[in-house]
């Protein structure tokens, strides 16, 4: 099997599809890995490190697509990259079709590809392995981001998260109760912030309470509670995830208007369209904007700013699935591993997710092999 790693076209994407360790695992199994020159540089991996593990360096994106049976990507493919995709190719990476352009979806359907999305690969116990692991990173990053933008010279309220003797800590409101919310809660509570979590899943919120020994406040995410608590939030974190779907709007513009000037919003759901009405995607170069007097941090690929750690995590996870596809062929791999099958967006000319098909007015079917 030939596996290709492209040099990501997005200016704000620093992660790579594989690290040298991942290459070595594949080469040992007899597979060929083509890495576009410079693909790992932003994650701290030189071309020489890849070749030392048996990768072949190619110099154009056309070569990667032209030589590979499987192409790995991090940022969703753009129109130019879609035109390079070969007929019957396997595409594995972050695709986010719920917020993609219809033209891109139609182009890939014509090419009879099999498209597998990291974001919707799901284990039997409902764990999303790629999101779970990256969410651990993103949640921890909320601590640094919130602390930085609360500073006066950043336009924030001029506070520290943990407070000091005679001064209370900052109030952080986390919307969501999944792994992203848990990771953010753990980090912020550890820094001494007064942390409140709002969600709809009682079992997940019970898990958060147990994890924090009852030090966090949990409430149901009703409109009443959301309206009331956004008014007192110094930091508001949107951590709502619905796999393969657009994130629901949980915080309206009216709620944002009621927040205190200089407060900080971190919308971690921006990859899926955002769960806050005033959110819009930003970049690592220009990560924030101010709307209604509130600082918004809405970087879609937040873990790209710690690209080496994130690349290691992604590489460690995807190698398992590549081994299965290489050992059994893609059709049998999809039958043997239901978690991989759940990650399929497009299979040989057909959409396999009803919500995506309905969004674009296209047909769908849910059956394997395709």
Pick the catalytic residue: 31, 95, 234, 271? 271
Biggest distance spanned by C-alpha atoms of the chain:
66
> Long-range contacts: 53-56, Cβ < 8 Å, 24+?
53/20, 53/21, 53/23, 53/24, 53/27, 54/23, 54/24, 54/27, 55/5, 55/20, 55/23, 55/27, 56/32
Bridge partners (DSSP) listed for residue 72: 5, 92
Is the dihedral angle over the CA atoms 328, 330, 91, 13 positive or is it negative? negative
Residue 96 falls in the annotated catalytic set: yes
* Distance, CA of 89 to CA of 87 (rounded, Å): 6
Pick the catalytic residue: 96, 194, 272, 296? 96
Active site residues: 96, 271
């Amino acid at each position: 099997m030939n596996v290709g790693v492209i040099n990501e076209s997005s200016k704000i994407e620093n992660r790579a599809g594989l690290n040298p360790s991942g290459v070595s695992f594949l080469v040992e199994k007899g597979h060929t890995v083509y890495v576009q020159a410079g693909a790992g540089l932003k994650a701290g991996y030189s071309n020489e490190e890849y070749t030392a593990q048996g990768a072949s360096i190619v110099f154009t994106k056309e070569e990667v697509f032209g030589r590979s049976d499987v192409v790995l990507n991090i940022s969703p493919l753009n129109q130019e990259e879609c035109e390079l995709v070969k007929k019957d190719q396997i595409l594995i990476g972050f695709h986010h079709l719920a917020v993609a352009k219809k033209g891109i979806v139609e182009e890939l359907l014509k090419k009879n590809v099999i498209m597998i999305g990291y974001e919707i690969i799901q284990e039997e116990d409902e764990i999303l392995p790629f999101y779970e692991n990256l969410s651990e990173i993103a949640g921890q990053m909320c601590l640094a981001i919130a602390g930085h933008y609360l500073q006066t010279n950043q336009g924030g309220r001029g506070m520290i998260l943990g407070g000091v003797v005679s001064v209370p800590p900052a109030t952080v409101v986390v919307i969501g109760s999944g792994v992203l919310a848990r990771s953010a809660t753990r980090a912020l509570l550890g820094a001494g912030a007064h942390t409140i979590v709002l969600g709809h899943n009682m079992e997940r919120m019970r898990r958060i309470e147990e994890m924090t020994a009852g030090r966090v406040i949990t409430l149901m995410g009703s409109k009443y509670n959301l309206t009331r608590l956004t008014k007192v939030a110094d930091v508001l974190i949107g951590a709502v995830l619905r796999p393969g779907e657009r994130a629901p709007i949980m915080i309206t513009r009216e709620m944002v208007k009621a927040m205190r000037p200089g407060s900080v919003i971190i919308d971690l759901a921006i990859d899926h369209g955002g769960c806050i009405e005033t959110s819009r995607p930003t970049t690592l170069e220009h990560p924030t904007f101010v709307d209604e007097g509130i600082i918004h941090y809405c970087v879609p690929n937040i873990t790209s700013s710690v690209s080496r750690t994130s690349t290691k995590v992604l590489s460690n996870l995807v190698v398992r699935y590549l081994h299965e596809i290489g050992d059994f062929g893609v059709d049998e791999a999809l039958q043997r591993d239901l978690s991989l099958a759940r990650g399929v967006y497009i299979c040989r000319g057909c959409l396999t997710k009803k919500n995506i098909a309905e969004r674009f007015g296209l047909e769908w079917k849910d059956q394997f092999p395709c």
